[in-house]
Amino acid sequence: MGRKEELDEWLRPDGAVLLTVECQQGVVGADSALPELAAVARKSGALANVARLVDAAHEAGMQVVHAVAERRPDGRGSNSNARLFRAAARLPVQQHSGSTAVRVAEPIQVADEDLVVRRLHGLSPLAGTDVDALLRNLGCRTLIVTGVSANVAVPNAVFDAVNLGYTVVVPQDAIAGVPADYTPAMIRNTLALVATIATTDDLLAAWKAPRRPAVGRGQAG
């Protein structure tokens, strides 16, 4: 089986789930707590590509899961054991539960059938959240990881998914980090070792391709 055929098989809507990571207004929106990251996500086209993938997934009947990071106004349950967390607690824009900062950012469209999973702690969209259980209940075998940041949350999601037994696909033009040239280095030297690297157009083409009947597809073990 060639790479294209393999990718087409992994991306079958009945066995794959599209995950957006921290694509929320307070991170990549106009009033971001992290304006440099937000600017890179938009200027690079990564956020627009996430939106394209979400739209195509909806059209293909593929499940979309949005992973959102937030904290209570009183900080209960949130981490303070790393410089990143302590710095985030001092930012002028806070990712407070129920605020506009934790809504999925435009131009991404959230459909009624999408799942939104919120976490109050940690660095990973998967560890200690409902995401793994939801993926297994959905029959997911392939997890497509998009969003921000390539510095922290995206690699955490990829590593955790691989450790849990999922095949991971990363569309390289639908993730972003800072500085801008860090993302291709992270992909080339780290993510490419554990995930299949593709492009947004590769995924869109796969979802439009004629499908062969699935054989022996079950849940991730």
pLDDT in tens, 185-211: 999 999 999 999 999 999 999 998 665
Separation of CA 20 from chain center: 3
> CA distances (Å), 74 to each of 1, 33, 70, 71, 220, in order?
53, 18, 12, 8, 37
Sign of CA dihedral 170, 138, 68, 83: negative
Closest CA to 38 of 115, 148, 181: 148
- Average pLDDT, stretch 139-155? 98
Rounded Cα–Cα distance for residues 13 and 169 (Å)? 13
The one-letter code for the residue type at 182 is: Y
Mean pLDDT on 94-110:
97
Q: What pTM was computed for the model?
A: 0.92
**Residue 8: predicted pLDDT:** 83
Q: Identify the weakest region by mean pLDDT among 19-23, 88-92, 94-98, 215-219.
A: 215-219
The H-or-E segment that residue 58 falls in is helix 46-60
Q: Is residue 36 within a helix (H) or strand (E), and if so which, with residue range?
A: helix 35-43
Helices (H), 67-130: 83-88
CA distance 8 to 10: 6
DSSP 96: B
